[in-house]
Amino acid sequence: MCVTKGDVVERILTGRALVPGSAKGEALVSSEALSLWGGLCPRTGEIIDRRHELSGVIAAGRVFVFPRGKGSSTSSATLLESIRTGAAPAAIINLKVDPILALGSIVADELYHQAVPIVVLADKDFFSIERGDYVTIEPDGTVRITTKSSKMDRKV
């Protein structure tokens, strides 16, 4: 669904809420997989995988859109600690279910009653999100994407 309000275009996507919750923020988008351990600093929220395209970028407070996790089974610990320190992304959108990421968020929910929502989107929807889009996530897995239409025009 696509709604235009002034120069803002809102699209509504339906995903699967692996860890349900509400969140909103600017989209940080990558097409590369990431191991959060060795990939995200749980104190600063910086992407520290020096081989990753987002190396040096801060993920804290943003809706982090990347296809899937990989590598270390300590990634759940990194996510949990980053939730504790407040350096976690506002939400995570993946293309594939990564149980290790979901786990970090679920344990945070048990321990601190605070989780990072994780939503999995279908291919077409996942790849439609661009860096800088504003993303709102709802507990049922609804993902609202707002893009300035001036930006849409430039793309055409």
Partner 1 sequence: MAVKLSKLDEQMLEGKCGKATQIAVRILVRMAEVVGAGEMMDVSQAHIDGCGLLSEAGLEFAETLAAKGAKVSIPTTLNMGPLDLQNWKSFGIDEDFAAKAIRQAKAYTDMGCIPTWTCAPYQSYLTPRFGQQIAWGESNAICYANSVLGARTNRYGDYIDICAAITGRVPKCGLHLKENRKGQILLRLVDIDPAIIQSNAFYPVFGHLLGSLAEDRIPVIDGLCSEASSDQLKALCAAAASSGAVALFHAIGVTPEAPTLQEAFQGDEPEQVIDIHLSDLVKAKSELSTAQDGAKLDLVVLGCPHFSFDEFRELAELIQTEVDRGNTLHPDVRFVVISGQTSYALIQRSRFLKLLVDFGVEITLDTCLFHTPMVSTETKVIMTNSGKCAYYAPGELDVQVAFGSIGECVRSAVEGCVLRKETLWKES
How far is 53 from 73, CA to CA, in rounded Å?
22
How far is 100 from 147, CA to CA, in rounded Å?
31
Q: Stretches 7-15, 100-108, 122-130, 139-147: which one binds partner 1 (CB under 8 A)?
A: 100-108
Given candidates 10, 12, 44, 71, which one binds partner 1 under the rule CB under 8 A? 71
How far is 82 from 76, CA to CA, in rounded Å?
10
With respect to partner 1, which residue has the nearer C-beta, 50 or 124?
Answer: 50
CA-based angle 92:114:137, to the nearest 5? 40
Count of H helices and E strands in the chain? 4, 9
x-marked contacts with partner 1 along 43-62 as a string, rule CB under 8 A: -----xxxx---x-------
Is-catalytic flag, 72? yes
With respect to partner 1, which residue has the nearer C-beta, 36 or 129?
Answer: 36
Closest CA relative to residue 70, chosen from 107, 38, 27: 38
Inter-residue contact 38 to 48 (CB < 8 Å):
yes
Q: Which two tokens stand for residue 27?
A: 């989209």
- Output the smallest distance, CB 80 to partner 1, in A: 5
- Output the smallest distance, CB 102 to partner 1, in A: 4
Binding residues for partner 1, total number by CB under 8 A:
42
Active site residues: 72
Q: For binding to partner 1 (CB under 8 A), which residues are involved?
A: 18-19, 33, 35, 37-39, 42, 48-51, 55, 68-78, 80-81, 83-84, 96-100, 102-104, 106-108, 110-112
